[in-house]
């Protein structure tokens, strides 16, 4: 099976712009989660989607949003970019048939805001 894929891998944007990141989960996985990873804050949970519905949300401002399509692919959008949004954004998918299912991570999208 192909792993979790994320596009693009690298992105450079300027403050005030918006950005959309894409994630394709492992085939058959219905849950997709997004995380922000920075040296200072570590790994922080953004949100989780399951069957096109946002099921969980972390403590991020409304500028961060996402969606999931019927084929389980997910997108994450950040509007009005700030310098502090520079980070590695990781997407993870899981079967989610039981609470103990592990998540499989993509390689991430490295976003740099200048």
Partner 1 sequence: AQSVAQPEDQVNVAEGNPLTVKCTYSVSGNPYLFWYVQYPNRGLQFLLKYITGDNLVKGSYGFEAEFNKSQTSFHLKKPSAFVSDSALYFCAGKRDDKLIFGTGTRLQVFP
Strand 5-7 to 10-13 pairing: unpaired
CA angle, residues 38, 43, 23, in degrees to nearest 5: 95
Among residues 19, 25, 33, 93, which is the contact residue for partner 1, using CB under 8 A? 33
CA angle 27/33/34 to nearest 5° reads: 120
Across 1-114, the runs of DSSP E, i.e. the strands, are 5-7, 10-13, 19-24, 31-38, 42-50, 53-57, 64-68, 74-78, 87-94, 104-105, 109-113
Binding track over 50-89 against partner 1, x by CB under 8 A = -----xx-x-------------------------------
Rounded to whole angstroms, how far apart are CA atoms 8 and 6? 6
Q: Establish if 14 lies at the interface with partner 1 (CB under 8 A).
A: no
Q: Which stretch binds partner 1 (CB under 8 A): 13-21, 43-51, 61-69, 71-79?
A: 43-51
Confirm or reject binding of residue 12 to partner 1 (CB under 8 A). Answer: no
43 near partner 1 (CB under 8 A): yes
Given candidates 45, 65, 67, 73, which one binds partner 1 under the rule CB under 8 A? Answer: 45
Q: Is there binding between residue 1 and partner 1 (CB under 8 A)?
A: no
Q: Point out which span in 11-19, 48-56, 65-73, 74-82 binds partner 1 (CB under 8 A).
A: 48-56
């Amino acid at each position: 099976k192909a792993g979790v894929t994320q596009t693009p891998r690298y992105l450079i944007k300027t403050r005030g712009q918006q950005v959309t990141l894409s994630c394709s989960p492992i085939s058959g996985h219905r849950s997709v989660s997004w995380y922000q990873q920075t040296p200072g804050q570590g790994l922080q949970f953004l949100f989780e989607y399951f069957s096109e519905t946002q099921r969980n949300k972390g403590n991020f401002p409304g500028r961060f949003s996402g969606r999931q399509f019927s084929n389980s692919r997910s997108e994450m959008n950040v509007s009005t970019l700030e310098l502090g949004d520079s980070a590695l954004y990781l997407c993870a998918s899981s079967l989610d048939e039981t609470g103990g299912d592990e998540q499989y991570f993509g390689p991430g999208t490295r976003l740099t805001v200048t």
